[in-house]
């Protein structure tokens, strides 16, 4: 298979703006250091305030890359999760079913791992919530219940 050229957008959100700029440069450098990926061109955009935020900033980089294979294409997607990616060349791709099976199984493995992490976090959250309900039930009372209890309490004279 011939090499694949793609354009991608890497976006970072955070603060302070200087940190975002540095992090963006670091990510693009790491992409270029990956085996089977060559950075052809990169354009960095200055951080701007994120919409609906007083303290967060966002910045992005447009990066053109050359990839040795579809395996590297999907690896780039999973490892760096670009905001957008577009294959610019070749216009048509031919793939052997063996390679497609490998890519499909790698995708499934990653999805199963994410699913396991999500299920574990749901179980831990449920356990912690139940523990809090047991040890600190006042945190789970409705506002009405709390205000009614406050009214029932005798007021202290100062």
- The pLDDT, as a whole number, for residue 145 is 64
Are 79 and 136 in a shared domain? Answer: no
pLDDT higher than threshold 60 for residue 17: yes
Shared-domain flag, residues 124 and 77: no
DSSP string, 122-136: HHHHHHHHHHHHHH-
Domain membership flag for residue 38 = yes
Does the predicted TM-score (pTM) go above 0.85? no
For the segment 22-62, what is each residue's pLDDT rounded down to a tens digit? Answer: 999 999 999 999 999 999 999 999 999 999 888 999 999 99
CATH number for the domain that contains residue 80:
3.30.70
Q: Do 24 and 60 share a domain, yes or no?
A: yes
- 145 and 82 fall within a common domain: no
**Structural domains of the chain, count:** 2
pLDDT, average across residues 75-87: 96
Closest CA to 31 of 1, 69, 66, 59: 66
Q: Establish if 99 belongs to a structural domain.
A: no
pLDDT (tens digit per residue) in 110-145: 999 999 999 999 999 999 999 999 999 888 887 666
CB 32 within 8 A of CB 100: no
Domain that holds residue 60: 4-94
């Amino acid at each position: 298979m011939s090499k694949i050229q793609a354009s991608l957008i890497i976006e970072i959100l955070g603060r302070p703006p200087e940190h975002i700029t540095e992090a963006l440069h670091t990510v693009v450098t790491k992409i270029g250091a990956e085996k089977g990926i060559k950075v052809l061109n990169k354009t960095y955009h200055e951080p701007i305030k994120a919409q609906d935020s007083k303290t967060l900033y966002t910045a992005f980089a447009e990066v053109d890359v050359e990839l040795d294979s579809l395996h590297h294409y999907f690896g780039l997607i999973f490892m760096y999760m670009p905001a957008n990616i577009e294959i610019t060349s070749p216009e048509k791709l031919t793939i052997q079913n063996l390679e497609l099976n490998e890519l499909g199984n790698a995708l499934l493995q990653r999805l199963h791992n994410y699913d396991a992490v999500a299920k574990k976090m749901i179980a831990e959250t449920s356990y912690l919530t139940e523990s809090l309900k047991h040890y600190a039930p006042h945190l789970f009372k409705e506002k009405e219940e709390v205000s009614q209890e406050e009214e029932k309490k005798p007021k202290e004279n100062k």
